[in-house]
Amino acid sequence: MLARTSLTFVPAAAALIACCVTTSPQLQGEEPKKEGPAAIKVTPKPLSDSALSGLKYLVSQQHEDGGWGQGGGWRTGTGGGNGRIEGDSVPDPSDLGNTCVALLALVRAGNTPEKGEYAQQVASGAKFVFEQVEKSQNETLYVTDVRDTQLQQKIGQYVDTFLAGLVLSELKGYMPSELENQKLEFALAKVVKKIEANQQEDGTFAGNHGWASVLSQGLCSKLINRAAQQKIPVSAKVLERDFQQSVASLDGTSRGGGPEILAAESISARPDARISARARTGGAAGDAGVDLYRQATNVGRINFFYDSNREAEQKAQQVLASASTSDDAKRDARSELSRFAKVRGTQREAVSGIINKLGDQRFVAGFGNNGGEEFLSYMNISETRVQQGGEKWETWDKSIAAKLARVQNGDGSWSGHHCITGRTFCTSAALLTLLADRAPSQLAAQLAAQK
């Protein structure tokens, strides 16, 4: 069983953290000492032919209203029938979840509403997202009236909410005018407040049912931590609960929350079965019995929480280094650094565990063939792995890029062969995997250079 230790650490509004920062000090009362960097800044590669053709496909599928539909595949019938329907004659209206994930891919490729080859498409898509969020009711976690989409049924009923907040957090500061930036911040704050009002004590959300709902829970983690990094007020309790739940879920359990963290303890020692015994007993925390979904998601969640605490660590180090700091302030700073060291230990062990599994083809295969869930899991792994950089990152990156190129369709899209089959989501998630070296701390520097 994983050990528990107290945590009262995360600031309510963390700042955007650079990819390279100093790591933990010694914790026996002396002044902090610097180790090597906790993460390595990776220079983004030029966009590959595979990525360029995928982006071109996405842009070709944008609707006149600025949104994207799911891009084919099965749908849930309406008008008295709840069975699956599909075919060329089935309507494919814009929906918020697919629009947001497509926008994320375009933004990660270097486009903003003002800059980039696809600036116009991003601006139009952002308008679609704003309108959906603005008209949503404050009392509910939903941000859309559309129900029973592929994304909702497969990875959680509130996936649209989490994706909307994530894309808004990455667009913050890059709208064409101050008024539009204020409008974006208002919409993002509204999404965050919905999450704060609806998060349960164990860090999950009532009613977020889905075949593999752990994946949408992971998107929520990215949203709240990214929003905090972007100086949007986020409750410290909400961030802490989410972190606790991610570690518990990584271990395949469903512990409740409280003001504590779970310290690292043999996280890498997990079953390698592609479909574990949990599939026959209902699974753990909505992982569909697929270890890839659960572990890739929760490692990413832990890593995002770790990133969100780095500024607080730097401030505590500065307090200790200052000759004018009082003894009480130094004691508090050492306490903060001690807590952060526990977060770091959990993060390192979790990342090490997922890296050790990447050579196991059964684990990487996920369900056994590609669906949107697999593409999203690869994105989570890549976004975590890129921060370590080096030869192992490059080996993984080349390997997953080659895998994705082999299954890319002739029109530049990717499609799923189980569960999430729509080409909008699959193409976007595949692109986000290919563009992991541009997200999200790399993205800030890249976009700032364009302004």
List, for residues 242-261, the tens digit of each pLDDT value. 999 999 988 765 433 223 33
Instruction: Report the C-alpha gap between 74 and 77 in whole angstroms.
Output: 9
Lowest-pLDDT range of 229-233, 268-272, 297-301:
268-272
What band does 410 get if pLDDT is binned at 50, 70 and 90? very high
pTM of the model: 0.84
Residue 288 to residue 265: CA distance in whole angstroms? 24
Give me the chain's average pLDDT, please.
Answer: 83
Kindly list the structural domains of the chain, giving each domain's residue range(s) and its CATH number in brackets, ordered by start: 4-27+55-75+91-450 (1.50.10.20)
Calpha distance 266→280 (Å, rounded): 25
> At a CB cut-off of 8 Å and minimum separation 6, what does 347 contact?
302, 303, 305, 306
Nearest to 424 by CA among 66, 115, 2, 61: 61
The Cα 28–Cα 17 span in angstroms is: 26
Asked whether the beta carbons of 423 and 414 are under 8 A apart, the reply is yes
Residue 286: pLDDT over 90:
no
Nearest C-alpha neighbor of 271 from the set 245, 289, 248, 298: 289
Confidence of residue 82 (pLDDT cuts 50, 70, 90): low
